[in-house]
């Protein structure tokens, strides 16, 4: 393992992205997300993702110089056309108007269209909880996951995330895939040659498989909670697909055409303003929320994201660990020829 300061990690990520032709606004937004994932010890969403980002560019499935277009389409709705770029810059572009509309109306929605996506959703969620807003986000991916009772990929891993701001404390945040596990975890197991736990995936015949390559290339991942996770996955397909005028996971896979690029789709983000809902009673009801959190912890249970926040504090003080093999693979990207292939 190599230990790196967060700033050193950011500089490496930015250098790789710059070398491969991403414009400064894009690369800074992307690198910030990579560093945040590594910092919070979410390895499947950290520096490792640089490999997929560059592969997606070389496949012509992302636009490295995309400038998002923000559209004010309704009193409580913002739409951002990412124009084939990564989602990070599109979200940053739409965030100010989303916040303004949530303050004015009590709630507002941001729909991001035509974006390439690789990150965890808590990035967007925490940007809103930092502003005192309650937040919800979801998106499809590509068809990796079989519906309950099925055996062929249809749904994406379809994450959903929620955040509740807390005064003077880390927010209450959960962020999880509706699949049994994030796809990046399977990819890390394949890299390490480790068997998969039961319940993560099946082979082409629908039989349980512990082989990551088989699940990734021939079979399908599974939803968590059987039919319950399957229903949530379908809901996310609808909310962040047809509702916002974007692709389902199966359509995203068709767009990919077997290139193995990162998913291209849309994302839906909701922001709610407690002050607008509660007025002068906001402090009282925030205390009721705190009583709920205290009740959870009083039973010895852990609040979601608690482990991640603890990891963040360690990383801020000590830097992060990166596997030597991964670091070598990332640094090798600086020696690869650039590729100007783009999609629009």
Tell me which of 44, 218, 255, 321 is the catalytic residue: 44
Give the pTM: 0.92
CB environment 64-90: b (16+ within 10 A), e (fewer): bebebebeeeeebbbbbbbbbbbbbbb
Of 99, 126, 185, 267, the active-site residue reads 185
DSSP string, 258-326: TS-PPPEEEEEEEEE-HHHHHGGGHHHHHHHHHHHHHHHHHTTPPPTTHHHHHHHHHHHHH-EEE-HHH
- Average pLDDT over the chain reads 95
- pLDDT tops 70 at residue 5: yes
Instruction: Assess whether pLDDT exceeds 90 at residue 342.
Output: no
Q: Which one of the listed residues 45, 117, 189, 265 is annotated catalytic?
A: 45
Question: Average pLDDT for residues 282-302, to the nearest whole number?
Answer: 97
Is there a catalytic annotation at residue 19?
no
**Residue 37: which of 119, 92, 117, 138 has the closest Cα?**
119
pLDDT tens figures, 57-84: 999 999 999 999 999 999 999 999 999 9
Indicate if 185 belongs to the active site.
yes
pLDDT tens digits along 120-174: 999 999 999 999 999 999 999 999 999 998 989 999 999 999 999 999 999 999 9
Residue position matching structure tokens 């690029």 = 261
Answer yes or no: 253 catalytic: no
CA distances from 193 to 159, 190, 200, 208 (A): 26, 5, 16, 18
């Amino acid at each position: 393992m190599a230990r790196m300061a967060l700033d050193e990690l950011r500089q490496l990520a930015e250098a790789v992205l710059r070398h491969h032709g991403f414009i400064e606004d894009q690369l800074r937004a992307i690198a910030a997300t990579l560093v945040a994932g590594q910092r919070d010890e979410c390895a499947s969403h950290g520096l490792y993702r640089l490999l997929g980002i560059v592969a997606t560019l070389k496949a012509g499935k992302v636009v490295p110089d995309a400038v998002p277009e923000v559209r004010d389409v309704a009193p409580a709705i913002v739409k951002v056309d990412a124009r084939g770029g990564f989602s990070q810059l599109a979200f940053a572009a739409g965030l100010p108007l989303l916040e303004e509309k949530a303050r004015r109306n009590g709630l507002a929605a941001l729909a991001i269209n035509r974006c390439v996506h690789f990150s965890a959703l808590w990035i967007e969620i925490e940007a809103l909880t930092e502003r005192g807003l309650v937040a919800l986000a979801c998106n499809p991916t590509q068809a990796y996951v079989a519906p309950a009772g099925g055996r062929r990929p249809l749904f994406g891993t379809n994450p959903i995330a929620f955040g509740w701001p807390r005064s003077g404390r880390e927010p209450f945040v959960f962020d999880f895939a509706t699949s049994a596990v994030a796809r990046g975890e399977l990819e890390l197991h394949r890299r390490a040659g480790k068997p998969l736990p039961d319940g993560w995936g099946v082979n082409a015949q629908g039989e349980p498989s512990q082989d990551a390559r088989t699940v990734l290339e021939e079979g399908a991942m599974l939803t968590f909670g059987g039919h319950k996770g399957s229903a949530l996955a379908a809901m996310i397909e609808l909310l962040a697909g047809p509702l916002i005028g974007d692709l389902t996971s199966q359509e995203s896979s068709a767009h990919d055409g077997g290139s193995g690029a990162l998913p291209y789709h849309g994302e839906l983000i909701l922001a709610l303003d407690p002050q607008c809902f509660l007025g002068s009673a906001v402090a009282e009801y925030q205390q009721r929320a705190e009583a709920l959190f205290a009740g959870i912890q009083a039973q010895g249970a852990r609040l979601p994201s608690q482990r991640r926040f603890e990891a963040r504090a360690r990383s801020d003080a000590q830097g992060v660990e990166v596997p030597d093999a991964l670091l070598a693979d990332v640094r090798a990207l600086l020696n690869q020829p650039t590729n100007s292939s783009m999609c629009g």
